[in-house]
Chain A
């Protein structure tokens, strides 16, 4: 795999030095023009040469998680290619080493160790589930690596070796519930999710926010085991409590069953408001647009966002990965990873992990498809919360968006 990429990069190098160097050199700012000597930007023995830098991409390409993670790999590759086309990072072309976590958590740890100790990569873009991130974390901290983690997740973590480009729980939930409270005048909520850590933590935060901050009422809380496929009883429980809003975080195959059965039970957007934090464009493919039509998702990104950054991003993505590809919230967050790293390296003027890590705070990105983002000192992103209303064609219309929300992985009062 490595040789393949090296060859590719040699070709690119030729191309770039031969043809593209002149206009790029003129266009780029001065520090790229004079690509700093390797000894200066790499004091810790990383995989950086005079004209290349190797980075790791570590997702599940096989196994049960492959469906979800493929989008992230594609987005990260796209970002790297675009950065290379612009002249790379500190004058060096990025060469990704793609490793397979195989949906197996120890494998994630193993591959991380391999990337950090054998390949000496300055950054890894990867992990999707919390379990895989938790498995990688000790290795990252021990071998001093840097991970860009794209998924929206439950929070409760703040590692110096991880940059969280997805939302932590409060960024997705609080503004969403406020929207339901203000715009939909919802006073009673029913919480339902799959039975594992992310939905449970999210629901805990939601409940505290509804009951203690807003003064509303949670009329029911329900968890279905992963892979659950019959939601008849859960739906009846909901019916019995008559909530103003159903707040849902059901995942995987269950998600499809949940929405189809909800619809069949006569609960649809005409008679019920439903706000979910687990449905992106990717999920709608399996659920079917007609089954989520009119329901709401709380995310920071939707493919339909109407701004110039996003239009260019969607076009590039489709050109690279096919006209049929859809881009969900996580794919966009994954796309930010390489760009943020590039910004960090350029700010630090070095590839060294400690230097980049220290430089990450307060980095801004105005070119992000989701709009403006900024890295918080707690290594999460400031981002907006958007409420999208699903249409039958599987795309969402953004009906509301918040101001930038401060990331707060250890929310005071919500634990």
Chain B
């Protein structure tokens, strides 16, 4: 690394830091929905990636529809994100009603059933949109980079996703800890029978929570159209990483999920920088597994009796 001025190294350092932060926001946005669902009802949703793809395709459709209108191209994302959330939310609601609620007492079976669901959804996308990846146009103001100095380029879409992630996280926090619904959710998590006894409709709570988790995946899908591929199987690219984030964070803890997404993202992008992507991925996965063995309850354990 000789031949670089300290200024340049600093610039690289800053950009590399942002690469990690950007990866962190991607992981967190994906993991949030999964973590809520897992924390609430111990269901691992293997179709989470496909809910993300619902959001992505919803965004794709929006970009086509609104892209045709003059002057709307730059702002369609603001419409697309709520639509992506809504469509994933509705599908999630239906799936819970038809499938998941029958399986709450058999967590391993949900894993299989949702895998089957994922296959069906993938084929559904393929039949509806074709097997090829589609290209979602990125609004002009999200392209390119922000240059605070001559040497630093911060991707604008990275910043946008970061902001979105923070907003969604805040929203989830508010929902869980400040709203009446959140109180019910936390009640049900802590003691399902007692919650039922005091008049909380636990089934309804489950349904809303599941649908909400799926909706957040939809938002992730909308956001990811700006940075990666949109195709029938795009969701599966994230799924292993996301599971590990949730499990590593300690089930059901919002703080834990954030901490775990942050540490995994930073560790991986740092290693990527020095060792290359393949080795970084392998080492990150192995480290996470290793830590999980030492601390099976994850980074931050939820204090719930099971």
The residues of A with any CB-CB pair to B shorter than 8 Å are 64, 66-67, 70, 195, 222-225, 227-230, 232-237, 239-240, 253-257, 260-261, 263-268, 282, 285-291
On whether A286 and B135 interact (CB within 8 A), knowing A224-B277, A229-B238, the answer reads yes
Residues of A within 8 A of B280 (CB): 233
Q: Would you give the shortest CB distance from A87 to chain B, in whole angstroms?
A: 35
Is A232 a contact partner of B228 (Cβ separation < 8 A)? no
Interface residues of B in 181-236 (CB under 8 A from A): 226-231, 233-234, 236
17 A–B pairs (Cβ distance < 8 Å), ordered by A: A222-B276, A227-B236, A228-B281, A229-B26, A230-B19, A230-B23, A230-B227, A233-B270, A236-B19, A261-B155, A264-B227, A266-B145, A267-B153, A285-B132, A286-B133, A288-B135, A290-B138
Is B273 a contact partner of A237 (Cβ separation < 8 A)? yes
Instruction: Report if B269 contacts A (CB, 8 A).
Output: yes
| Total number of B residues with any Cβ neighbor in A under 8 Å | 49
A240 CA to B13 CA, complexed, in Å: 10
Q: Give A229's nearest chain B residue, CB to CB.
A: B228
Is B135 a contact partner of A232 (Cβ separation < 8 A)? no
Q: Would you give the shortest CB distance from A390 to chain B, in whole angstroms?
A: 13
On whether A195 and B135 interact (CB within 8 A), knowing A233-B19, A266-B155, the answer reads no
Q: Give B14's nearest chain A residue, CB to CB.
A: A236
On whether A260 and B234 interact (CB within 8 A), knowing A266-B147, A290-B137, the answer reads no
Q: Would you give the shortest CB distance from A244 to chain B, in whole angstroms?
A: 16
Q: Give B156's nearest chain A residue, CB to CB.
A: A264
Is A235 a contact partner of B1 (Cβ separation < 8 A)? no
Q: Would you give the shortest CB distance from A225 to chain B, in whole angstroms?
A: 5
Q: Which of A70, A195, A230, A282 interacts with B278 by CB under 8 Å?
A: A195
Residues of A within 8 A of B227 (CB): 229-230, 257, 260-261, 264
Q: Which of A225, A265, A288 interacts with B145 by CB under 8 Å?
A: A265
Interface readout for B122-154 with A: 1 if CB under 8 Å, 0 if not? Answer: 000000000111111110001111010000010
Q: Give A282's nearest chain B residue, CB to CB.
A: B132
Instruction: Report if B157 contacts A (CB, 8 A).
Output: yes
Q: Would you give the shortest CB distance from B121 to chain A, in whole angstroms?
A: 16
Residues of B within 8 A of A64 (CB): 233
Is B228 a contact partner of A260 (Cβ separation < 8 A)? yes
A222 CA to B298 CA, complexed, in Å: 32
Residues of A within 8 A of B135 (CB): 256, 285-289, 291
Residues of A within 8 A of B18 (CB): 232
Q: Give B280's nearest chain A residue, CB to CB.
A: A233
The residues of B with any CB-CB pair to A shorter than 8 Å are 1, 4, 12, 15-16, 18-20, 22-23, 26, 131-138, 142-145, 147, 153, 155-158, 226-231, 233-234, 236-238, 269-270, 272-273, 276-278, 280-281
On whether A232 and B22 interact (CB within 8 A), knowing A224-B278, A253-B234, A286-B229, the answer reads yes
Is B144 a contact partner of A230 (Cβ separation < 8 A)? no
Is A233 a contact partner of B144 (Cβ separation < 8 A)? no
Q: Would you give the shortest CB distance from A227 to chain B, in whole angstroms?
A: 5
Q: Which of B4, B19, B226 interacts with A260 by CB under 8 Å?
A: B226
Q: Would you give the shortest CB distance from B306 to chain A, in whole angstroms?
A: 34
Residues of B within 8 A of A256 (CB): 133, 135, 228-230
Is B276 a contact partner of A232 (Cβ separation < 8 A)? no
Residues of A within 8 A of B269 (CB): 230, 232-233
Chain A interface mostly: helix
Is B22 a contact partner of A195 (Cβ separation < 8 A)? no
Residues of B within 8 A of A288 (CB): 135-138
A64 CA to B276 CA, complexed, in Å: 26
A228 CA to B272 CA, complexed, in Å: 12
Q: Give B142's nearest chain A residue, CB to CB.
A: A264
Residues of B within 8 A of A287 (CB): 135
A232 CA to B12 CA, complexed, in Å: 11
Residues of B within 8 A of A224 (CB): 277-278
A144 CA to B290 CA, complexed, in Å: 51
Is B226 a contact partner of A234 (Cβ separation < 8 A)? no
A227 CA to B131 CA, complexed, in Å: 16
Q: Would you give the shortest CB distance from B153 to chain A, in whole angstroms?
A: 4
Q: Would you give the shortest CB distance from A268 to chain B, in whole angstroms?
A: 8
Is A285 a contact partner of B228 (Cβ separation < 8 A)? no
On whether A253 and B237 interact (CB within 8 A), knowing A225-B281, A288-B136, the answer reads yes
Q: Would you give the shortest CB distance from B279 to chain A, in whole angstroms?
A: 9
Is B228 a contact partner of A253 (Cβ separation < 8 A)? yes
Q: Give B225's nearest chain A residue, CB to CB.
A: A260
18 additional contacts (CB under 8 A) given A233-B272, A236-B15, A256-B230? A67-B131, A225-B277, A225-B281, A233-B16, A233-B270, A233-B280, A234-B272, A237-B273, A253-B233, A260-B228, A261-B227, A264-B142, A266-B144, A266-B153, A285-B132, A290-B137, A290-B143, A291-B135
Residues of B within 8 A of A66 (CB): 131
Is B136 a contact partner of A225 (Cβ separation < 8 A)? no
Q: Would you give the shortest CB distance from B144 to chain A, in whole angstroms?
A: 6
Is B15 a contact partner of A239 (Cβ separation < 8 A)? yes
Is B145 a contact partner of A257 (Cβ separation < 8 A)? no
On whether A264 and B144 interact (CB within 8 A), knowing A232-B22, A286-B229, the answer reads yes
Is A234 a contact partner of B231 (Cβ separation < 8 A)? no
Q: Which of B147, B158, B229, B236 interacts with A232 by CB under 8 Å?
A: B158
Is B12 a contact partner of A236 (Cβ separation < 8 A)? yes
On whether A253 and B145 interact (CB within 8 A), knowing A232-B22, A232-B23, A236-B19, the answer reads no
Q: Would you give the shortest CB distance from A253 to chain B, in whole angstroms?
A: 4
Residues of A within 8 A of B228 (CB): 229, 253, 256-257, 260-261
Is B144 a contact partner of A263 (Cβ separation < 8 A)? yes
Q: Which of A237, A255, A260 interacts with B138 by CB under 8 Å?
A: A260
Q: Would you give the shortest CB distance from A259 to chain B, in whole angstroms?
A: 10
On whether A264 and B157 interact (CB within 8 A), knowing A237-B273, A286-B133, the answer reads yes
